[in-house]
Amino acid sequence: MNNDNLVTIPIGPQHPALDEPSCFTVTLDGEKVVKAVIGVGYNHRGLEKSCESRNYYQALYIVERVCGICSHTHSTAFCQGLEELAGVDIPRRAKYLRVLVAELERLHSHLLWLGVAGHEIGFDTLFMYTWRDRERVLDVLAEIGGNRVNYGINTIGGVRRDMEPALEKEIREMADVLEKQVAYYHELALTDSVLAARFAGIGVLPREEAKRFGVVGPVARADGIAGDIRVIEPYAAYDELKVNQITDDHCDVYGRTLVRIQELQESIRLIRACLDGLPEGPLKVNVPRRLPKGEVISRTEAPRGENIHYIRSNGTDKPDRVRVRAPSEANWHGMRRMLEGSYLADVPIIVAANDPCYSCTDRSFIIKGAAGTQVMDWEQLRTYGVEWYRRRGADVSTLSEKMEKFR
C-alpha cells in the first residue's frame, strides 16, 4: 500500500446520508476502505445526569426519550429495574400489555430499517412499501398511547392504559395485512438478484470477531450468536409466550436482512399470542415513591439488541445514578471492522445494516488525571468549544447572536 495514494474522506457530521450527526472518516486506497474511524458525541443531551435531580416518575419521562424509535424498551427496562428494587411483582395483564407494545415497536423499527436499507441501494420501491406498512403499526400505537412515538404506556408498577375490544380487532386486522406483506419481503430477499448482489458478502464480520467485539441484536444473530434477552433472560410475559430466536450464519448485510425480516414474522406471532392469552386483572400495583438503598441491572431486548439499564438508589425518591447502555453502543466497534476492506460504494449500506442509533449512545465522561477531576459547567464548556474551533481557524463566538436574527 502506497501512502501517497491514500485519500481520507469524512462522511459527516452533517451529511445527507446520515439521519443524525456523526462522522465516519474513511481512508481509501483507490475505492477500497483501508481504515475507518467512527466519531460520535455530537448528540449528547445529558439525560442520565438529568435523572439524578428528578424523582423516579419524572426520570421515567426522560428515560423514555433516550430513543424515539425504541422508547418503550427503555421505559420497560427502567420500570422493571425500579420494581425489582421495590420488591414488587406487576400484574400479569400489565406484563402482557408491555410485551404487546414491545413487539409493535419492534415491527415499526424493523420496517423502518428495511425501508432505509432499500433506499441506500436505490431500491426506493421497497422503501415506499415498507414505510407504508409501518404507518399501520404507528396508527395502532397512536390508538394505544395517544402518540406515534413515546407512547407513555409504562408506569412504575405496571402500565397506564388498557386494551379496548375495538382496538384488539384493529390490531388483528393489521397483523393479517402485515403477515402477507412480510412474507412477500422474505421471498424478495431470498430470490431478488439485486438484493443478493448488494447485500451478500458485504460488511462481513466473522463470528469470532463478532464475539470479541461483543456485538448484540440482529447483528450478532446474523453471525449465528444466540443472545436474545427475551429467550435467555425472559422478562414481562416472555416466559409464558416463548420466543423463537432467529439466527443466521451469513455474517454479512444479507444475513442481517434475513434476521430482521424473520423477526418481523415472529413479532406478528407474538402479538397474536398476547391478544389470545391476555389475562383479566388490574393494570398496576402501588410502588412507594422512596425506594430502599440498592442497585440493579435491568435488561430488555430492544429492536437493535440488548438494552441495559443500571440504577442505583440512595433511599430517597431520586436515583443516585442512572446508566443506559443502548445496543448501538455495543455495535460501534464491530461496524469499524465491517467497513475496513469494503468499497466506498458499500459504506452507506454497511452502516445502515447495523441500524445505529446515534443520540442514545452519546455520553460525557469525567476525566480524572494528575490535576484532579474537572467538571465543566455550561459556560466553561461553551468557552472550550469556541477556543477549540478558533485554533482550527473558525470563529464561532458570535454564532448565537447571528442565529437570534432568524428567530
Q: What is the domain-level CATH number for residue 231?
A: 1.10.645.10
pLDDT in tens, 186-232: 999 999 998 999 999 999 999 999 999 999 999 999 999 998 999 99
Encoded amino acid at 159, one letter: V
Per-residue pLDDT averaged across 16-20, rounded?
Answer: 75
d(CA 400, CA 383): 13
Query: Do 171 and 99 share a domain, yes or no?
Result: yes
DSSP state string for 143-187: HHHSSSSS---EETTEES----HHHHHHHHHHHHHHHHHHHHHHH
Percentage of the chain exceeding pLDDT 70: 93
Question: Does the structure show a pLDDT above 80 at 64?
Answer: yes
d(CA 320, CA 315): 9
pLDDT for res 87? 95
Query: Do 251 and 382 share a domain, yes or no?
Result: no
d(CA 173, CA 162): 19
CA distances from residue 92 to 52, 55, 181, 236, 316 in whole angstroms, order as listed: 30, 26, 32, 8, 28
Angle made by CA atoms 352, 358, 361, in degrees to the nearest 5 = 125
Please indicate, yes or no, if residue 322 is contained in any of the structural domains. Answer: yes
d(CA 70, CA 92): 23
Domain count, the chain: 2
All three cell numbers of 124, joined, read: 426506493
Query: Do 389 and 343 share a domain, yes or no?
Result: no
Q: State phi, psi for 304 to the nearest 5 degrees.
A: -95, -5
Q: State phi, psi for 6 to the nearest 5 degrees.
A: -80, 140
- The total of other beta-carbon atoms located within 10 Å of residue 323's CB is 13
Please indicate, yes or no, if residue 10 is contained in any of the structural domains. Answer: no
Please indicate, yes or no, if residue 61 is contained in any of the structural domains. Answer: yes
- For helices 71-86 and 56-63, the axis angle rounded to 10 degrees is 150
Boundaries of domain holding 388: 377-407
Query: Do 206 and 316 share a domain, yes or no?
Result: yes
CA nearest to 156, candidates 385, 30, 313:
313
Q: State phi, psi for 361 to the nearest 5 degrees.
A: -105, -15
Provide the β-strand partners of residue 29. Answer: 6, 32
Please indicate, yes or no, if residue 40 is contained in any of the structural domains. Answer: no
The residue whose grid cell reads 443478493 is 196
Query: Do 195 and 321 share a domain, yes or no?
Result: yes
Question: Does the structure show a pLDDT above 90 at 43?
Answer: no
Provide the β-strand partners of residue 296. Answer: 311
pLDDT in tens, 349-393: 999 999 888 777 766 555 565 566 566 666 777 787 788 778 877
Per-residue pLDDT averaged across 265-275, rounded?
Answer: 97
Mean confidence (pLDDT) of the chain: 89
Query: Do 406 and 284 share a domain, yes or no?
Result: no
